[in-house]
Structure 1
Amino acid sequence: MASPARWNHVWVGTETGILKGVNLYRKQASNYMEVSSLSRAQEVCAMCWGDEQESEIFLGCRDGTVKIFSTEKGKFTEFRDCSRGEGLFRGLAVHDSSLITCVESGLVKVWKEGAHEGGNTEINAGPKIAKMRQNPEMRHCIGTGGKENDLKVWDLQRPDQPIFKAKNVRNDWLDLRVPVWVQDLQFLPGSQKIVTCTGYRQVRLYDPCCPQRRPVLEALFQEYPLTALSVTSDANCVVVGNTQGSMAIIDLRQGHLVKCLKGFAGSIRSVQCHASLPLVASCGLDRFLRVHNIEDKQLQHKVFLKSRLNCLLMTGRERWEQEEEEHQEKICSLSQENMKEEEEDEIWTMMETVQDKASRKHSTEPPPQRCRPCKKPKKIP
């Protein structure tokens, strides 16, 4: 039977280095780290799935180590030293059993399994990287961006030059250069388009198929820096969050604000939409994990996790309610089987051992002594 960790719906990494698994239907959060050995050096800065079956989670820590957690076993199985470059992890990805890491200094490295140090691929993506993401449909392609380091798309099979390099927008109405600060990015499923959000409240859509390298669409949201984004399952909208705890849904076809999601009280650090369900999970500095319904804007789940939250992963499974019912049925059936086994063991232990006559003859133990009958006292006439 799989570990109970397999049934968690959302995984969250914290500033204190704890990996938390949350089961939304049972409202339970489990810590998968020894709290006594925690330190700020183990802060979880980036997370990614290890495979499509979601059996492993890769965690990039502040000290440069990458930890591998098995959801099947419910424990950490491997630790890797990936401390190359300077700064924190800004992205993790897995491709063909190779680990892809990106740090703030711009070093993107492919850690091939079993390869020596010189056999690993390295890319210099430029300084002050804020985010690196993998194309889910073309897993050998990644995108990078940061402060004064505009969007670049790299092919790991041809790492010498980026296959796409964004061009800054034209000067503003004062003929001043517009600053660049890419905070997050994501590839749109079913196309080669890329959407980014910036520290200057801009949402930009790029299409590498177009001859121009400037964004084909730009939208603005409020007055505060945007920190995280995620594309909805239909790829028509993007969900963005900012430093003031505001989260909104923006239409990528027209650039209009569709709706706002409420209930936040701090900066949003990570946002992720479900792959097929109309759900979006978010976390941030207010220590709450929230799951909203995109269609009706309702807050469906809200879990307090005690620590400041950096990043999250949401499972791609769809049958949440049925899985919970099946899980409860398995637990009940196992408990009933255990009760039956315990009752049978008690019955067998209470039964006396019976020996036949032949075994008594050959037995080396002395025969049991019989008690002499008590003599009744004689009556005196």
Structure 2
Amino acid sequence: MNLRMAVRSQNMNIWVGSETGILKGVNLAKKQALNFCQISCLSRDQEVCALCWSDPTETEVLVASLDGTVKTFSAEKDLFTESRRCGDATQGRFTGLAMVKDSLVTCVETGVLRVWGPETSGTDESAKHTLEISAGKSVCRMRQNPAKCHVVATGGRENGLKIWDLEKPDQPIFTAKNLRNDWLDLRQPEWVRDLAFIPDSDKVVTCTGHHQVRIYDPSSPQRRPVLEVKYGEYPLTALSVSAGGNTVVVGNTQGHIAMLDLRKKGLVRGCLKGLAGGVRSIQCHPSLPVVASCGLDRFLRVHSLDDRSLLHKVYLKSRLNCLLLSSRDIEQRHSTRETEIEEVKDEGGEDDEVWGAMEEVQEEEEGRRRKRRRKEVVAEEKEEEKKKKKTTKRKKK
């Protein structure tokens, strides 16, 4: 094992999963971005679908792949130490990953939610999982309650929010009710794309493919949303709640990210700029006022929740699916300028070769040149007009 690489992997602030199956680590303080994988064994079947921590000390990362395997990456040893089969590609991609004590919790698109014991081994899939729950069809997301690890929530297309207690799995402890019919007496469609538990409460916030943000309160007798707001006109794809629980950050398919204030009935506090593609994942830091996002434009960005400025930005060469933010303090050695992080090494692949061969455009410098040129042209036009006026006056005299 390369000791230097192991030390680097321990100091990573953000872990990112890509469509090419590569686990990427980013150190914001040292401006480093590294790939952790075997390039020769990469395939589209290993696309990273979900990430989570294996332990509270955050020394191991669980990586769920499209082919149904869940691999364990050790930051201390700088290698993948374990790989186990938790399904197959026919059951759909992973929509959620979590740890409950020593057991692994997985959920796939077909709605199969399973709990895998720590003693799982072998190839017989039926002998490995200790619990199986049917959460309904077309599940888009499964999330764990950070305050109650045995409680998870699921939701999807025409599959409303459900909250499950894994210690009492016979039926959900909360099932959301759809909104009343519209003014034409037509049923309103449901499409939960992402969800999160609000800290220090039992409430759950969801975002939908119909650009709606909804809040549910299981402690109240009302099963319909206690609050609903709409943002934009495009499907919302990801959300995250700030550490204080007062702000929810949502992103859509057009690369728009907005901050909604939950204390003021979902009023838009502001937007985070700079994205150029659909948002795949958003995560707020558990203690700092920063939020990380990634998506189809292949950039990882870190914004400030206080002034909405872009703090860090890194180009990772692949379309990004998910991210995992460390709870450690991020050293922010910057002022108002954004910190550019060095690019990762070439991963191979046709798309990456094309992107790597393209010349980098200096947008700021080009913008300054255009402004100077416009000013020069305007000044020349004014001089010409003055000369014409003088000549006309002379002719009249």
**TM above 0.5:** yes
Q: What displacement does 1:27 show? A: 2.1
The equivalent residue for 2:324 is: 313
Q: CA-to-partner distance for each residue in 1:267-324, whole Å, 9 max, x for gaps? A: 00000000011100000000000000011010010100000000000110126369xx
The equivalent residue for 1:270 is: 281
The equivalent residue for 1:91 is: 96
Q: 1:291 aligns with which of 280, 302, 306?
A: 302
User: Within the alignment, does 1:15 sit opposite 2:25 as a pair?
Assistant: no
Separation of aligned partners in 2, 1:193 and 1:119: 30
The equivalent residue for 1:153 is: 163
Aligned AA (2:301)? R
Identify the structure with bigger relative contact order (alpha carbons < 8 Å, sequence gap 6+): 2
Q: CA-to-partner distance for each residue in 1:107-159, whole Å, 9 max, x for gaps? A: 00000112681761000000000000000110000000000000000000111
Aligned AA (2:215)? L
Q: CA-to-partner distance for each residue in 1:67-96, whole Å, 9 max, x for gaps? A: 100111111110011115710000000011
Separation of aligned partners in 2, 1:275 and 1:223: 30
Alignment RMSD, CA only?
1.4
Secondary structure, aligned partner of 1:41: helix
Separation of aligned partners in 1, 2:119 and 2:300: 38
Q: Compared with structure 1, are the counterparts of its residues 148 and 319 closer, same or farther at alpha carbon in structure 2 (3 Å cutoff)?
A: closer
User: Within the alignment, does 1:257 sit opposite 2:268 as a pair?
Assistant: yes
Contact 2:17–2:24 at 8 Å: present in 1 too?
yes
Separation of aligned partners in 1, 2:56 and 2:257: 28
Q: How do 1:1-381 residues align onto structure 2 when only pairs under 5 Å count? A: 3-83=7-87, 86-114=91-119, 117=127, 120-253=130-263, 254-318=265-329, 320=331
Aligned AA (1:175)? D
Secondary structure, aligned partner of 2:306: coil
Aligned AA (2:97)? L
Q: CA-to-partner distance for each residue in 1:34-65, whole Å, 9 max, x for gaps? A: 11110000000011111111011101100000
Aligned AA (1:28)? Q
Separation of aligned partners in 2, 1:96 and 1:260: 37
Contact 2:19–2:318 at 8 Å: present in 1 too?
yes
Q: Compared with structure 1, are the counterparts of its residues 222 and 319 closer, same or farther at alpha carbon in structure 2 (3 Å cutoff)?
A: closer
How does the TM-score come out when normalised to structure 1?
Answer: 0.82
Secondary structure, aligned partner of 2:10: helix
Secondary structure, aligned partner of 1:320: coil
Secondary structure, aligned partner of 1:259: strand
Runs of 4+ in 1 over 2 A off after TM superposition: 319-322
Q: Give the unaligned 5+ runs of structure 1.
A: 323-381
Q: What displacement does 1:248 show? A: 0.2
Q: After alignment, is 59-68 or 113-122 more displaced?
A: 113-122
Secondary structure, aligned partner of 2:258: strand
Contact 2:207–2:238 at 8 Å: present in 1 too?
yes
Identity of aligned residues (%): 59
Aligned AA (2:62)? F
Q: Give the unaligned 5+ runs of structure 2.
A: 121-125, 334-397
Q: Report which of the two structures shows the higher radius of gyration computed on alpha carbons.
A: 1
Q: After alignment, is 107-116 or 264-273 more displaced?
A: 107-116
Separation of aligned partners in 1, 2:239 and 2:129: 34
Separation of aligned partners in 2, 1:99 and 1:234: 28
Q: Compared with structure 1, are the counterparts of its residues 41 and 256 closer, same or farther at alpha carbon in structure 2 (3 Å cutoff)?
A: same
Q: Compared with structure 1, are the counterparts of its residues 118 and 264 closer, same or farther at alpha carbon in structure 2 (3 Å cutoff)?
A: closer
How does the TM-score come out when normalised to structure 2?
Answer: 0.79
Contact 1:183–1:196 at 8 Å: present in 2 too?
yes
Aligned AA (1:6)? Q
Contact 1:205–1:252 at 8 Å: present in 2 too?
no
Contact 1:100–1:111 at 8 Å: present in 2 too?
yes
Aligned AA (2:83)? F
Q: How many residues align?
A: 322
Secondary structure, aligned partner of 2:91: coil
Separation of aligned partners in 2, 1:188 and 1:266: 27
